[in-house]
Structure 1
Amino acid sequence: MQEEKKSLVESGLKKLVSDVDKSFLRKMEEKMYLCSAKCCESRDSSYEEVRSCVDRCSAPVMNAQNTVRGELEYFQIRLQRCVNQCHDDIQHKMSATPDAEEVERATKLFDSCAAKCFDDHVSLLPGLLQKISQKVQGKVT
């Protein structure tokens, strides 16, 4: 069951990244490439001037990508903390020398707790998409 829940989170994240890419990043990248191409048109510019121009063209895309990456990393850290808390809670409840029945019971409790973490985090994805979109939109201009 845990693998199914994990797969749900992964597919939700893939969809989120695809939505952000199609809605914002591709247009930003198009502008970046067109801007960078213009930087290279001048045969009178020095190497440093061209590099500086290209860097200026790239900055909005790099900032947007860093924003997306940072939000996704934070989401994954939060999910991992939730699963780790499940593990810690189960470990705390187990005896020093658990028998097979106690291990089986603990495994079921852990699976249930971890499944709740995955479900809770899947429900956070629409809000995460909105947050990323707002942050990236601010970098489009």
Structure 2
Amino acid sequence: MMVMRHSRIKLNSFIKLNFIRTKIERAQTPNSEFPIPNSQFIGKRTIMDHIAAAEEAMMNERLRRKLNEVNTAAQQHLAAVQDHINFTLQQSYFKCAYECFDRRMKQEEISNCVEHCSVPVLKAQNLVESEMAKFQERLSRSLAVCQDKYEAAKLQTNNSSAALGDLESCVDLSVKESIDLIPHVAGKLKAHLSMDN
């Protein structure tokens, strides 16, 4: 017998940023016979790398929080859709399936009846998964463009702070556009599922 899966809308597992970490150069002792504390060999370049790495770590944390904002917005706007699938449609499924268990019917007929009952809820789950996959793919592409611009800016300038600032602005815009899109995605799903607003 078919078992309905519990639908849960979540973005975190799909949206991931893989920003390239700045490699911090290690101070090396030039002459092993006369070791001198590494701190004496930390040059301006290495200090700048440490600063850049710290800035990038802070940026990654801010980006993580921004993605959480998208996830939170999606959960809020799509809560009614999730509730409709998990309760209204699945309740109808179980009521329908219950009626299939008639002793006058053959086992194959019962199975076919139960499978027929599952169609609405499965179609709804597949619809939501498809729309959310498209939404996530759209956001991922937008964020990938931001990262490409950031990597190009790092190659063209020595000012990592400016590059990170541009990256944050780009991500801010992508996140805002995605959050603004969520109500439209929710509305489309509600219309397809014949839900009352």
- Which of the residues 43, 56, 61 maps onto 2:116? 56
Residue in 1 that maps onto 2:96: 35
Alignment of 1:66-81 (within 5 A): 66-81=126-141
Instruction: Determine what percentage of the aligned residue pairs are the same residue.
Output: 24
Compute the RMSD of aligned alpha carbons.
1.8
Q: Whose Rg is larger?
A: 2
Q: How many Å apart are 1:105 and its aligned residue?
A: 1.9
- Do structure 1's residue 105 and structure 2's residue 166 form an aligned pair? no
Alignment of 1:1-141 (within 5 A): 1-22=62-83, 24-25=84-85, 26-40=87-101, 42-95=102-155, 99=158, 102-137=159-194
Unpaired runs of 5+ in structure 2?
Answer: 1-61
Q: Could you tell me whether the CA contact under 8 Å between 1:86 and 1:110 is conserved in 2?
A: yes
Q: How many Å apart are 1:5 and its aligned residue?
A: 2.0
CA displacement 1:31-50 (0-9 Å, x = unmatched): 1110001111x112222111
CA displacement 1:73-109 (0-9 Å, x = unmatched): 111110011000111122233327x64xx22321221
Where relative contact order (Cα < 8 A, 6+ residues apart) is larger, the structure is: 1
Unpaired runs of 5+ in structure 1?
Answer: none
Give the paired residue count: 133
**Runs ≥4 residues deviating over 6 A:** none
TM-score, reference length from structure 1: 0.85
